[in-house]
Amino acid sequence: MFDGALSAASELYRGSREILQDTYVPSRLPHREHQVQQVAEVLAPLLRGERSSNLLIYGKIGTGKTAVVSQVRTELLRHAAAKGRVVAVSINCANIDAPYSLLQTVGNELATKEADRIPTGWSLDRVQAQLRALLDGRGGTVLLVLDEIDRLVRKSGDGVLYTLSQINTELQKGRVVLVGISNDLKFTDQLDARVRSRLHEEKILFPPYDAPQLQDILRDRALQVFRDGVVEAGVIERCASYAALENGDARRAISLLRLAAETAERERSRRITQDHVVKAKNRFDLDLVLECVRSLPPHCKVLLYAILQGYERRRGGVLTGEVYEGYTKLAQKLSLPPLHPRSISNYVLELESLGLIQANVVSRGRGGRTREIFVEVPVSETMRALEDDELLKAFARPRFLSQTVLTNFDNPNRSGPNYG
């Protein structure tokens, strides 16, 4: 069954496929040497037992922010291991629903005994008190890395940042240094003046990669993973060109190269061609949407499912009132306490910022103003991705091989991405 696929793979690869995965952090980060040095200089005082400044790192998606911080963090912990002065906790805020969840996660990362762990159900004040006790009990410095910190603020406000930024004034033996990573260049504009004042942060901006820089990154990976002569001329350049047109996203460029290789492998081709890159781009556009959907918080998944149901039923835009009613019914069926309309409104904004929907303000005369929501992703494929989730699998419907519903087919007057 697998002989053909395995023999085809052996003709393409000589290194580990992990090198082309998002999670892989190379020992060398081309065109980010300056940023590595900047981050290291800010955090260097931690190795002397001193407190460093808080650090906020800005840049568009795929500009190497997380990879640079991960590399510096690893080297920092290696140097600090002998004296045990520093411990690091890294959290992706895209997976955190509320301030309680963030503080609970940080506390449980620091807890060394089961009795010290923070369970669900405590009051927020008690969680904060236990976190302070854990920090003081451990001593030294906790380097707290908050990736996609702007998403946490959009969902939950800046109260938790205020708590973390002033926690050092309440500690006797421990201290916290914050490193925030944001895709939003105007992130701090959303913060209260008191929070901005207490952060006392240093800032580092990561510029987008241009096409030649992306080509260097791809060649570096290709040399490690592919056999000589496998990658045809123009493949690297085309992958880099596609990614450069979309904000210089290195992750997108690397993913395109990986998908092009997988396409060539399935076609039993001994070389990766530009045609494979074009096919990979079409596949990547859809895969990116589905990956984004699967990473949403629980209530956001239920909300999106309600939007898709309403959109499918109306065969066009759906109003926010209908969406909230549909969300509430779904949440109750799942035994989830429905969120307040204001929280749902924030989630609608988040779904729009991710490019999954478009919410247009419309006037209803004396009825005031509301939003009409249009779906910007393939409806049936997105619903199936949500139904694969453990939370929503009870709503899964029969599936047919020929069933394909594409974005905006229900409303030919609207334009959108082509997933054909």
Residue 418: predicted pLDDT: 36
Whether the pLDDT of residue 415 is over 50: the answer is no
Rounded to whole angstroms, the Cα distance separating 49 from 137 reads 17
Residue 380: predicted pLDDT: 83
Q: Pairing mode, if any, of strands 357-363 and 140-147?
A: unpaired
pLDDT-based confidence at residue 414 (cuts at 50, 70, 90): very low
Rounded to whole angstroms, the Cα distance separating 253 from 209 reads 10
Rounded to whole angstroms, the Cα distance separating 79 from 382 reads 45
Q: Which CATH class is domain 296-395?
A: mainly alpha
Q: Note the Cα 367 to chain centre separation in Å.
A: 38
Residue 354: predicted pLDDT: 83
Cβ pair 272, 362 in contact under 8 A: no
Rounded to whole angstroms, the Cα distance separating 375 from 367 reads 24
Tell whether domain 3-19+209-292 is in CATH 1.10.1060.10.
no
Cβ pair 176, 144 in contact under 8 A: yes
Rounded to whole angstroms, the Cα distance separating 377 from 375 reads 6
Q: Up-side HSE of residue 18: CA atoms within 13 Å toward CB? A: 5
pLDDT one-digit tens code per residue, 71-105: 999 999 998 887 668 999 999 988 887 889 999 99
Structure tokens that stand for 59 in this block: 């840049």
pLDDT one-digit tens code per residue, 10-32: 689 988 999 999 788 888 899 99
Q: HEC string of 200-230?
A: CCEEEEECCCCHHHHHHHHHHHHHHHECCCC
Q: What's at 349, amino acid-wise?
A: L
- Tell me which residue of 383, 370, 385, 375 sits closest to 355, measured CA to CA: 375
Q: Which CATH class is domain 33-206?
A: alpha beta
Q: Which residues of 110-140 are buried (b: 16+ CB within 10 A; e: fewer)?
A: bbeeeeeebeeeeeeeebbebbbebbeebeb
Q: Determine which helix (DSSP H) or strand (DSSP E) holds 285, and give its type and residue range.
A: helix 274-294
Q: Which residues of 273-302 are buried (b: 16+ CB within 10 A; e: fewer)?
A: bebbbebbbebbebeebbebbeebbebbbb
pLDDT one-digit tens code per residue, 149-208: 988 888 788 888 889 988 999 999 999 999 999 988 777 887 888 888 877 789 999 999
User: SS3 of 37, please?
Assistant: helix
Cβ pair 68, 192 in contact under 8 A: no
Strand partners, 176: 142
C-alpha distance across the termini of the chain, in Å = 30
Whether the pLDDT of residue 42 is over 50: the answer is yes
Alpha-helical runs (H) found in 115-234 = 124-138, 149-156, 159-165, 193-199, 211-225
Cβ pair 132, 333 in contact under 8 A: no
What is the mean pLDDT of the segment spanning 221-242?
A: 94
Q: Note the Cα 333 to chain centre separation in Å.
A: 29
pLDDT-based confidence at residue 261 (cuts at 50, 70, 90): very high
Rounded to whole angstroms, the Cα distance separating 31 from 353 reads 28
Structure tokens that stand for 196 in this block: 């901005």
pTM: 0.69
Residue 68: predicted pLDDT: 96
Alpha-helical runs (H) found in 354-404 = 379-387
Sketch the domain layout of the chain as residue ranges. 3-19+209-292, 33-206, 296-395
CATH topology identical between 3-19+209-292 and 296-395: no
Taking the CA atoms of residue 218, residue 219, residue 221 and residue 226 in that order, the dihedral angle to the nearest 10 degrees is 120
